[in-house]
């Protein structure tokens, strides 16, 4: 009888141990499965677009990557406007701003102002770009503009960079600029 009782205790212990291991394995597996099925955070918050004559028809499915913000590098470049209603001549084909503003990847737009393709030309004409940018910012667009971008690039070697706060004081806010360090 003692042998039978000992055997039953061992069998019960084995069954209990197996059941505990099975519960632990199922808990771990379900936790891992839960993690795999949860949506990931957006891989991309927004996109940057440098309008030119070849890309005025911008389109894409960037929202599938998570993008909902669009930074437009400029609305005027080399003394031509990408938006109607300015004193500048328009580019040959204007972007369809109404369509762009309805895109899921352009729900919030940081709108670039006036610039030049040439960095040196931008720096040589920074005062004029600041004045023109203030005018460009007043032109109404069908976009949800949440910020502004002044497209002149700044780096430590540019001695006039310290003048920017005064030059850009009349531009709307929030205002973005591009900076880099060419020494690195």
pLDDT tens digit sequence for 74-117:
999 999 999 999 999 999 999 999 999 999 999 999 999 999 99
My answer on whether 26 and 50 are in the same domain is: no
My answer on whether 141 and 112 are in the same domain is: yes
My answer on whether 24 and 61 are in the same domain is: no
Helix and strand counts by DSSP (H, E) for the chain? 5, 8
Domain range for 7 is 1-38
pLDDT tens digit sequence for 102-160:
999 999 999 999 999 999 999 999 999 999 999 999 999 999 999 999 999 999 899 99
My answer on whether 54 and 16 are in the same domain is: no
Asked if 119 and 142 count as a contact pair (C-beta separation under 8 A), the reply is: no
My answer on whether 86 and 162 are in the same domain is: yes
C-alpha dist (Å) from residue 79 to 66, 98, 125, 136: 34, 23, 12, 12
* Contacts of 92 by beta carbon, 8 Å cutoff, 6+ apart: 53
How many alpha carbons lie under 13 Å from residue 3 in its C-beta half-sphere? 0
Does 184 map to a domain?
A: no
My answer on whether 21 and 52 are in the same domain is: no
Q: How many domains does the chain have?
A: 2
My answer on whether 89 and 59 are in the same domain is: yes
My answer on whether 21 and 106 are in the same domain is: no
Separation between Cα atoms, residue 33 and residue 27, nearest integer Å: 10
Global pTM reads 0.77
């Amino acid at each position: 009888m003692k042998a039978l009782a000992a055997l039953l205790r061992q069998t019960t212990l084995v069954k209990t141990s197996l059941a505990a291991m099975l519960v632990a394995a199922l808990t771990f597996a379900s936790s891992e499965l839960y993690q795999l099925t949860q949506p990931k955070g957006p891989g991309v918050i927004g996109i940057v677009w440098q309008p030119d004559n070849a890309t005025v028809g911008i389109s894409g499915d960037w929202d599938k990557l998570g993008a909902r913000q669009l930074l437009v590098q400029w609305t005027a470049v080399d003394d031509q406007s990408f938006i109607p209603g300015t004193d500048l001549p328009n580019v040959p084909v204007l972007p369809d701003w109404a369509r762009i503003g309805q895109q899921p990847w352009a729900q919030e737009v940081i709108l670039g102002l006036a610039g030049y393709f040439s960095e040196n030309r931008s720096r040589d004409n920074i005062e004029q770009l600041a004045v023109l940018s203030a005018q460009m910012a007043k032109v109404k667009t069908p976009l949800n503009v949440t910020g502004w971008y002044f497209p002149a690039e700044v780096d430590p070697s540019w001695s006039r960079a310290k003048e920017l706060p005064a030059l850009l004081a009349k531009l709307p806010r929030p205002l973005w600029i591009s900076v880099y360090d060419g020494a690195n």
